[in-house]
Amino acid sequence: MLDTTTRNIKFLPGVGEQRAALLGRELNIHSLHDLLYYFPYKYIDRSRVFKVEELGGHLQHVQLLGEIRSFEEMGEGASRRLVAHFTDGTAFVDLVWFRGIKFVKQKLSIGKRYVVFGKPSMFNGRVNIAHPDVDDAAMVQIGTMGLQPYYNTTEKMKRSGLNSNAMAKLVQNLMQLLGNEIPETLSQNIVQQNGLMSLDDALRIIHFPRNTKELQLAQYRLKFEELFYIQLNILYYARDRQRRYLGHRFSKVGEMFNRFYNENLPFRLTNAQMRVVREIRRDVNGNCQMNRLVQGDVGSGKTLVALLAMLLARDNGYQACMLVPTEILAEQHCATLKRMLGNLPVRVELLTGSTRQKERDVIFQGLENGNVDILVGTHAVLEDNVQFNNLGLVVIDEQHRFGVAQRAKMWAKNNIPPHILVMTATPIPRTLAMTLYGDLDVSVIDELPPGRKPITTTHIFRSRSDSMYSFIRRQLDEGRQAYIVYPLIKENEKLDLKNLEDGYNQLCNIFCDYKLSKLHGKMKPKEKDDEMRRFASGETQILVSTTVIEVGVDVPNASVMVIENAERFGLSQLHQLRGRVGRGASQSYCILVTDYKLSEDTRKRMEIMTSSNDGFEIAEADLKLRGPGDMEGTQQSGIAFDLKIANLARDEQLLQFVREIARNVVDNDPDCNNPDNRVLWQRLQQIRKMNNRNWGAIS
C-alpha cells in the first residue's frame, strides 16, 4: 500500500520538481501526507454572486463577477498602492493592492472576465476591496460546489500560479491517487466509543465539504486525533524515559546545603519554596532522572530554590549548571549566587559569549577537573567543548527561551543525563503546559515572600504624562528608583530606537537633578552591564530601556515601572515587565501609557492588567486573546506545535478528554502488545518519524 508519509510530493500529478521545491520551502509540504493534512483555513459559500451596487462596508466576504476597466497607481512610500477600477455594470468598486503591485499588473488584464472575491470596506466614502482573490472567470465554476476551500499560500507561491485554487486541484489529484479508502489511524474501540467519523471520510470532507454539518463532524474527528496523539506521545515517552534512565542519586543533604540554610539565608523560605525544595529532593533522591518544571510568578523566589538544588548536587559530589537566556541575566545570577553563598567554599563561574579565551581556559579546566561547582552561563554553555567532570544537575531559568533541542544538548553532557530543573516565570496556562511539558513534572511556587504589597497598576493616556512625571518625582524624592520602558521590535528598529532616544533626552530634561541610565539591545554587552550595574547600585535613579530588562533582573529598590506604548506589548510581556518592581517591601506602581485611540483588543489587555496581578490569570487571558501560536517560545518547543486543526485556546476540554483516553491506553497496554491498539502504536511511530525526518535524504 502507498505510504503517504514517505512518498515525495513531487510524484503527485500536477506537482513535479519545481513546485515540490516551492511547496517544501514555503509551506513545509514534502510528502503526500503533508498535503493531505494541509487543511483549508476557511470555507466560503460561493453559490452567491453579489452585485457591485449591493456592496457596503459592512459585508463579510463577497464574490463579484465582472471586469477591470483601468488601473491607477497612487500614493507614496507605505501608502503606495495599485487600484483597479472594477465593474459588473451595476457600479464600480476599487480593488486595492499595497504589495506585489508589479505582479498583479502583470497577471491581470483589462476587459477580461474575472471572479473577484474579498472583504469590502469603506475608505474615504468609497467601497474598496483590499488584496482580493482574482480568478479567471473561465476557470471557476460558480455554484457547482458547496463550500469552497481556501488554502493559505504565500506571495511566492501565487507568483508561480500556486494559489488556493491550484492547491485545491492538487488535493483533488491526491484524493484520486489514494483511491478508495484512506486507512484508519485510530483503533476500532476509540472510533466506536467516541462516535467518530472514519478518517477516510473526515479527510475528504475537510477538504471538500458539502455542508457545514458534515464539516463540523470531520473537524471534530481530526482534532480529536491530533490532540490524542500529542498526548499519547507525551505519556508514552514519559513512562519510557522513567524506565530507561537511572538518575544520579543525591542521597544526602550535606554540609553546604545545611550551612547555607542555617547560616547564610537572610530570610525564611516561604511555604511554597519549602514545598518545591522537598519535591526536588524527592526526585533527586530517587532512582530516576528528574525533569521538573518550576512555575513561579515573577518575584516568587525561584533563584533561591535553584541554588538549594545546586547545593544538593554539590554535597553529593556533582557539578551544577544554570542556563539563562541573556548575558545580563547570567551576570546578575552569578553575582547573586556568589553574594548569597558568601564565604562558603562553593566555586561559581560565569561563562557567556563574551568570556575571554584566557578566562575560558581556566573555567574549562575547573569544569573538567571538578573544581568548579556551579557554572552559570548563556547558550555558550551548550557548545561541545564545554565538558564537565560530573554534571549532575542543570537548571534552566526563564525556560521559554530554551527549547527541547537545548535540553537534549545538556543531557548529553554526562553519560547518565543530569537532572533537569526548568524554571519559568511565564506562567504557562494549564492546557499549554500539558501539551508542551506533558513529560515534565510540575511544581508551582504559588506564594510570594511575605511583606510584598501588590503592585498598583494604572493605565493613562499619553496626554496625561505630566502628572505621571510629578508622581515619579515624588517616588524618586523618597529614594526609590524607576524603570521607563520603550518597545523595540526588529521590523521597526530604527524608529523604536529613536523613540527611546527622544524619550531619554526628554526625561533627562525633566529629571535634570537625577541621574539616568539608558539600556538597549544595540549596546555592547560591557556597556549594558555597566549601565545595569549603575542602576542596580543606585548610582542612577531612572533606567530608560527597551525590553532587555524583561526577564529576571532584580533591583528591589525600584518602585515604578512605566511602560510606554503599552499597546504594543502582549499581556505576558506586560506582566513580566511589571514584575521588575514590587520586589522590595515598599508599595510599587506600574503605569501603562498608551495613545488615546485604542483597539478593542488593547483596551481588554489594559483592563486585565489593571485588574489582576495574578500571572496565571493573565496567561490564560493572553492565550484566549492571542491564540497559542503566538505564545513566546512555542515555536522552538520542538513538539508538534504547528497544530493543523486543533486550537489549544478553544479545545481545552477536548484536550483533557483525549488525555484520559491516551492515559488509559498507556496504562493498560504498557508493553504495546494489545492487538486492539496496534494501529495506535504504529501511527505513533509514524508520527515521530515524520517529525524527525530529513527530506534532503529522501527522493
267 touches, from Mg ion, ligand ADP, none (C-beta below 5 to 8 Å by class)? ligand ADP
Minimum distance of ligand ADP from residue 449's CB (angstroms): 3
Q: SS3 for 109-146, per residue?
A: CCCCEEEEEECEEEECCEEEEECCEEEEHHHCCCCCCC
Q: Which CB, 333 or 520, lies closer to ligand ADP? A: 333
For residues 312 and 212, give the distance between their C-alpha atoms in angstroms, rounded to a whole number. Answer: 59
The smaller minimum CB distance to Mg ion, of residues 185 and 576, is found at: 576
- Considering the complex, state which of residue 549 and residue 648 has its C-beta at the smaller distance from ligand ADP: 549
Nearer to ligand ADP, 302 or 578 (CB): 302
Q: Which is nearer to ligand ADP, 247 or 299 (CB)?
A: 299
In the three-class reduction of DSSP (H, G, I as helix; E, B as strand; rest coil), residue 323 is classed as strand
Residue 221 interacts with which of Mg ion, ligand ADP, none, CB < 5 to 8 Å by class: none
In 57-187, alpha helices (H): 101-107, 155-159, 164-178
**Residue 326 Cβ, how far from ligand ADP at the closest point, in Å?**
14
Distance (Å, rounded) from C-alpha 409 to C-alpha 413?
A: 7
Q: Which amino acid is at 79?
A: S
Rounded distance between C-alpha atoms, residue 574 and residue 566, angstroms:
8
CA–CA dist 95, 340 (Å, integer): 66
Between 330 and 665, whose beta carbon lies closer to ligand ADP? 330
Q: Which is nearer to ligand ADP, 391 or 581 (CB)?
A: 581
On whether the CB atoms of residues 88 and 81 are closer than 8 A, the answer is: no
Q: How far is the CB of 423 from ligand ADP (least distance, A)?
A: 7
Pick what 304 binds: ligand ADP, Mg ion, none; C-beta below 5 to 8 Å, kind-dependent: ligand ADP
Phi, psi of 262 (to 5 degrees): -85, -30
Amino acid of residue 572: S
User: Minimum distance between the CB of residue 578 and ligand ADP, rounded to whole angstroms?
Assistant: 12
- 554 binds, options ligand ADP, Mg ion, none, Cβ within 5 to 8 A by partner type: ligand ADP
Cβ burial, residue 402 (10 Å; 0-12/13-18/19+): buried
Residue nearest to Mg ion (CB): 552
Q: Which residues of 444-453 are buried (b: 16+ CB within 10 A; e: fewer)?
A: bbbbbbeebe
Q: Which is nearer to ligand ADP, 291 or 426 (CB)?
A: 426
Rounded distance between C-alpha atoms, residue 418 and residue 409, angstroms:
11
Is the Cβ of residue 330 or residue 593 nearer to Mg ion in the bound state?
330
The interface partner of residue 300, options being ligand ADP, Mg ion, none and the CB cut-off 5 to 8 Å by kind, is: ligand ADP
What's the closest the beta carbon of residue 494 comes to ligand ADP, in angstroms?
Answer: 32
Binding positions for Mg ion, 539-558, rule CB under 5 A: 552
Alpha helices by DSSP H, listed for 245-298, are: 255-259, 271-284
Closest approach, Cβ 155 to ligand ADP, in A, equals 42
Specify the DSSP class assigned to residue 182: P
301 binds, among Mg ion, ligand ADP, none (CB under 5 to 8 A by kind): ligand ADP
For residue 314, the minimal CB distance to Mg ion (Å) is: 20
Count the site residues for Mg ion by CB under 5 A: 2
For the four alpha carbons of 643, 234, 280 and 271, in that order, the dihedral sign comes to positive
Binding partner of 298, given Mg ion, ligand ADP, none, CB within 5-8 angstroms per partner class: ligand ADP
Pick 299 or 427: Cβ nearer ligand ADP: 299
Which residue minimizes CB distance to ligand ADP?
301
273 binds, among ligand ADP, Mg ion, none (CB under 5 to 8 A by kind): ligand ADP
Distance CA 505, CA 498 (A): 10
Binding site for ligand ADP (CB under 6 A): 267-270, 273, 296, 298-304, 425, 449, 554, 556, 583
The whole-angstrom separation of Cα 563 and Cα 550 is: 11
Give me the least distance between CB of 179 and Mg ion, in Å please.
57
**What phi, psi does 44 have (nearest 5°)?**
-125, 135
Rounded to 10 degrees, the C-alpha dihedral 21/25/31/35 comes to -110
Q: Which is nearer to ligand ADP, 419 or 583 (CB)?
A: 583
Instruction: State the SS3 of 231-259.
Output: HHHHHHHHHHHHHHCECCCCCCCCHHHHH
Q: Is 299 near Mg ion (CB under 5 A)?
A: no
Work out how close the CB of 411 gets to ligand ADP at its nearest, in angstroms, rounded to a whole number.
24
β-pairing, 113-118 vs 62-74, is antiparallel
The answer to whether the beta carbons of residues 351 and 375 sit under 8 Å apart is: yes
Give the end-to-end CA distance of the chain in Å, rounded to a whole number. Answer: 18
Return the number of the residue (270 or 677) whose C-beta is nearest ligand ADP. 270
Using CB under 5 A as the binding rule, the residues of this chain from 300 to 359 that contact Mg ion are: 302
Least distance to ligand ADP from the beta carbon of 354, Å? Answer: 23
CB of 309 to ligand ADP, least distance (A): 13
Q: How far is the CB of 448 from ligand ADP (least distance, A)?
A: 8
Interacting residue ranges for Mg ion, rule: CB under 5 A: 302, 552
